[in-house]
Structure 1
Amino acid sequence: MPPNSRRPVSLLHERWLETLDRHRDRIAIIDGQDRWTFADLADRLDASPPALFPVIARGGVPEVAVAVLRAWRDNQPVLPVEKDAPDPDLPLLIPDGTAHLKLTPGIAGKPRAVFFTAAQIAADADRLCMAMDLDPAVPNLAAISVTHSYGFSNIILPLLLRGVPVHAVEVPFPRVVADAFAIHDRLTVSAVPSIWKAWHRSGILAHARISLAISAGAPLSLELEHAVHESFALKLHNFYGASECGGISFDSSNSPRSSAADLGTPLDGVSVSIHESGRFLVTSGSVASGYAQSREGELLGGGRFLTQDFGSLQDDRLMLASSGAESINVAGRKIGPAKIEAALMATGLVARARVFGVPSHDPERVEEITAMVELISGSLDGVRHAAIDALAGWECPRHWITDATEEAWRLGRAELKKRYAS
C-alpha cells in the first residue's frame, strides 16, 4: 500500500497533488548542476518511508521540499530548521490539527513553538502569491534561508502549492547570484536589506532581469532603496510580516518610498488596527493557533495577533514607529537574548550576564549584539572563545561590557540599549 493511502489526504497534500498534475514534467528546482522536475520530487517522496512522528525539514531546497511533502502526505506536523542547527526540542503537547511549527525566541534561552493548521499555512501562501503576482512562468531565486518564516512562505509554499519553480543558490555571493541571473529571462528575488546592499555595491543588479525585488526581514533604509532605484531603475518592494501570522503588508508601488516608516498597505484578507497599547493588531486567516507557552500580555489565536511593533495607520498604510520586541535583529536574523545569556552562563566563567542589541552604524545590519558580563575568573578572551564554541558566528556578541555599575545591572534591556547606543 503506498504511504499516502495510509491516512486521509490532507489539505496541503491535496494541493500538492494538484500542482503535480499541472506541472509534472516542468523544472521545479535548479540546485547547482542538478535539475529537479516536479515528477522527481514526487518520486523522491514515494521512496520516503511513512512519517510516524513530526518531521524536521532541513538541508537544501530539494531536501526541505521533500521533507515538507512527506509530512503533508502522512498528516504529521513539519518543523523547518537550519541545516546546521542542532535537533530542536519539540513541544510535549502539539494541538490536534497542527500541520506546521515555527520557532520563535523563547524566555529562558530556548526557542518556543508556534502552531499552525493546514488552512492557516495555505491562506498565507495564497495571499502572498496574489499580492506579489507569483507565477509558474517566473522562477523564484532562493538566496535566503527557506527554513526561516520569510523564505518558507515566499519560496517553498509557492513551489509546492502553486508550481512556482525555484533557482537555489548555496550562498548569496554576487558572482554566484550573477550566474543565476544570467540563465533566466525573468526572476522574482526575495532578500534581506544587507544582501541587497551587497548586490548593489557589486554592480550585478545592472544586468539582472528581475521582475519583482522583495525586501523583508529587517527595516529597509531609504538610502538603500533610493540608491538601487537610481542606479538600476529597480524598485525594492518592502514586505512586512511576522512568524506568528505570515504576511501583513506590502509596498506594491513602483516608486521609492518617501518615509522609512512606510510598511505598505495590508495584504488582501488582512485587517490591521491599532491596539490600545499602540501596537499593530493583525486579523487574518493565516494567524497561528497559538504558542507552546504564552506570556502575559500576548495575544495570538482566534485569527488575531498582537505584534510587538508600535505604529499608526495613514491612508491605509502601516507606519512603523518602533519595535518593542526583545529579540535582536542582526541583518534579518533574529535571536532571543536569553539564548546568548544561557550560553555565557554555561561557560562557568561569568557570575551574571545581560545581553541586548544596540543600533548598528550600518542600517542594513540593523543591530549588533552587546553582552554585559561580570567575570568570575579568567579573562574576557576566555569568555569570547567559549561563546564562539557554543554559538553560531552571527550569534556571538560584537560588543562586551565588563565594568557595569550595579545601577546598570538593574536596568531593563530597553534602557540598556539606549544607554550604550553610540
Structure 2
Amino acid sequence: MLFSRWQETSARFRDRIAVIEGTESWSFTDLAVCLAEKPLTNAPVIASGGALEIVTAVLQGWRDQQPVLPLEKGAAIPELPASFPEGTTHLKLTPGIAGKPRAVFFSAEQIAADADRLVAAMGLRHEIPNLAAISLTHSYGYSSLILPLLLHGIPLHAVEVPFPKVIADALAAHDGVVIPAVPSMWKAWHRAGILRGAKIDLAVSAGAPLSLELERAVFVECGLKLHNFYGASECGGISFDTSDAPRESAANLGAPLLGVTVRVHESGRFLVESSSVALGYEAARESELLGDGEFLTQDFGRIEGGRLMLESSGAESINVAGRKIGPAKIEAALLASGLAERARVFGVPSHDPERVEEITAMVELKSGTLDQLRKRMTETLAGWEMPRHWETAPDESLWTLSRAELKKRAPAR
C-alpha cells in the first residue's frame, strides 16, 4: 500500500526536485534510481543518516515489506522485539523501563492516515517545499517531512544544523517554505533577526509548549504567525491551531484534526480516537491504553469551544527543548558507571520556557568524585541528555519520593 503510493508519487513528479541536502539535490526519479541500487532485505530496516539515506531506507522497507525503524544518526541500534503484531510496517521507540527503549507498532494504514491528515490540515502543496530543521527520524519530523515527501510529493530541503545563518541561506533559496520546528528554534531564529521579512508560508511549532511571549513577539515584530501543533508518538497529529492571530491562552492546543476525536477520560487525561493510533506497545503498562483506535495520553486538560486546553502533563519523560528522554535511561547509565550507589533522575522547570525542562540527577556516590562521574557520563550520554543539575548525599527522605514529588520540591532546594 505504501510502496504503491510512492510509485504513484514518483511517476507524477518524476522530474521535480524531491530532496535538497547541502549543495546537492535529487529528483523523484533519482530517488527511484537510488532505491533500485538497494539490495533486497528480509529483515527490519534501520533508517538513519542523512536525508537521502533515510528516504531510501524507508523506501527499501516499503518495497521489501519489512518494518522500518527511523533512528537518530550515531544512536546505538536497539534490540528489537522477537516478533511484531500482524501488519506492522513501522516502528517508533519510546522510553521504557530501566532505560531500555520499547517499540510502538504501526500498520501502513495508520502512518498513511497521519500523513494525509497533516497535509490536509496544514494545506501542504508540492509547489512549496518543507524546510527540515528538526530530526527526520523523530515522530514529529517523520510524519511532517518524510511521509509528505513520499506520499504527497512535498519537496524536502534538509539542513545539517538549525543555526540561524544556515536557515537564512536555505530560506533565500526558495520563494516560500513550510517550517515545522520546536519553540527553542523559533526563539533562536527570532533573536537572530532572520524571521523579519522571511518567505515562510507556514510556521509550525510542536514538541514543547509554545509560550505566548514568543508567539506574540514573532507576530508583532515579524508579521509571522506560529501555529501550535499537538501530537504524540503513539497516534500522530491530534490538534492544530489554525488561527491567524496569536492565541489568548498558552493552554490552547487548537482544534482536533479532521478525523480525530478527543474527549476527557475519567482520569482527566485526553483520550484520542483516530485511524492513526498505533497497534500497540511492545510492553504496555497497567495505566496505559493504546490500540483498537484509542490512545490515552499522559496530558491532563479540558475542552472549551471545540479546542483542547492543556492543564498539565503527567508524562514521566523529560522534555528538553522538544526532545524527550526517559529518566530511567540516565539512571541506568549512572549506575552502570560503577561510581554511583543510588541515582534518581527527574526534570525541573527551566527558567527559559522554550527549553521547558532541565535534567536533575540526585546521586549517592559509591566511589570517586562527582566530577569523575560527570566526565564518565559524557562518554555515555549525548550532550542534551546530560544532567544540568547535580545533587549528592541529599536528605535521606528524598529517596522515597516519586519523581513528580521531587520535581515539585526542586525549586525550594
Deviation for aligned residue 1:86: 1.0
User: What amino acid does structure 2 have at the position aligned with 1:325?
Assistant: A
Q: Which residue of 2 aligns with 1:110?
A: 100
Partner of 2:247: 257
After superposition, what is the alpha-carbon deviation per residue over 1:254-312, rounded to whole angstroms, capped at 9, x for unaligned? 00001000000000000000000000000000000000000011100000000000000
| Residues in 2 aligned to 1:377 and 1:70: alpha-carbon distance in whole angstroms | 49
User: Displacement of 1:403 after TM fit?
Assistant: 2.7
- In structure 1, the partner of 2:332 is 342
SS in 2 for 1:418: helix
Give how far 1:95 is off. 1.3
Q: Which residue of 1 aligns with 2:204?
A: 214
Give SS of 2:302's match: strand
Name 2:14's counterpart in structure 1: 24
Q: Aligned partners of 1:229 and 1:41: how far apart in 2?
A: 38
Distance in 1 (CA, whole Å) between partners of 2:180 and 2:152 is: 17
Equivalent positions of 1:21-420 (< 5 A) are 21-420=11-410
Separation in 1, partners of 2:218, 2:79? 42
Deviates more, 1:202-211 or 1:87-96: 87-96
Q: Where in structure 1 do 4 or more consecutive aligned residues deviate above 4 Å?
A: none
- Distance in 1, Cα, partners of 2:328 & 2:7: 42
Task: For 1:22, give the aligned amino acid.
Answer: R
Structure 2: which amino acid aligns with 1:135? R
Deviations 1:212-271 (A, max 9, x none): 000000000000000000110100000000000000000000000010000000000000
**Aligned partner of residue 319 in structure 1, secondary structure:** strand
RMSD of aligned C-alpha atoms? 0.6
Instruction: Please give the alpha-carbon distance, in whole angstroms, between the structure 2 residues aligned to 1:171 and 1:128.
Output: 24
Alignment partners' CA distance in 1, 2:93 and 2:146? 17
1:110-161 alpha-carbon deviations (Å, 9 max, x no partner): 1100000000010000000000001101000000000000000000000000
Report the Cα distance in structure 2 between the residues aligned to 1:93 and 1:391, rounded to whole angstroms: 29
User: TM-score, normalized by length of structure 2?
Assistant: 0.99
Secondary structure at the aligned position of 1:414 is classed as helix
Q: The residue matched to 2:239 in structure 1 has which SS?
A: strand
SS at match of 1:157: helix
SS at the partner of 2:408?
helix
Equivalent AA in structure 1 for residue 172 of structure 2: A
Report % sequence identity: 68
| TM-score under structure 1 length normalisation | 0.97
Give the total of aligned pairs: 412
- Equivalent in 7, 12, 31 of residue 2 of structure 2: 12
Deviation at 1:45, TM superposition (A): 0.4
Task: Write the distance in 2 (CA, Å) between the matches of 1:251 and 1:60.
Answer: 31
Deviation at 1:384, TM superposition (A): 0.4
- Letter aligned with residue 386 of structure 2: C
* Separation of aligned partners in 1, 2:279 and 2:77: 24
Using the TM superposition, give the Cα deviation of residue 399 of structure 1 relative to its aligned residue in structure 2, in angstroms. Answer: 0.2
Structure 2 residue identity aligned to 1:118: A
Aligned to 1:4: none
Shift of 1:207: 2.8
Give the Cα separation in 2 of the matches to 1:360 and 1:403: 23
Distance in 2, matches of 1:144 and 1:407, equals 41
SS of aligned partner of 2:145: helix
Q: Secondary structure of the equivalent of 1:373?
A: strand
- For residue 377 of structure 1, give the secondary structure of its aligned residue in structure 2: coil
Map Cα deviations across residues 164-215 of structure 1 (whole Å, 9 max, x no partner). Answer: 0011100000001100111111100010000000000000011310000000
Q: How far 1:84 moved relative to its partner?
A: 1.2
Q: State the partner residue of 1:6.
A: none
TM-fit CA distance, 1:387: 0.8
Task: Summarize deviations over 1:10-38 as a string: whole Å, max 9, x none.
Answer: x0001100101100110001111101000
Distance 2:275 2:258 in 1: 11
- Matched to 1:382, the amino acid is Q
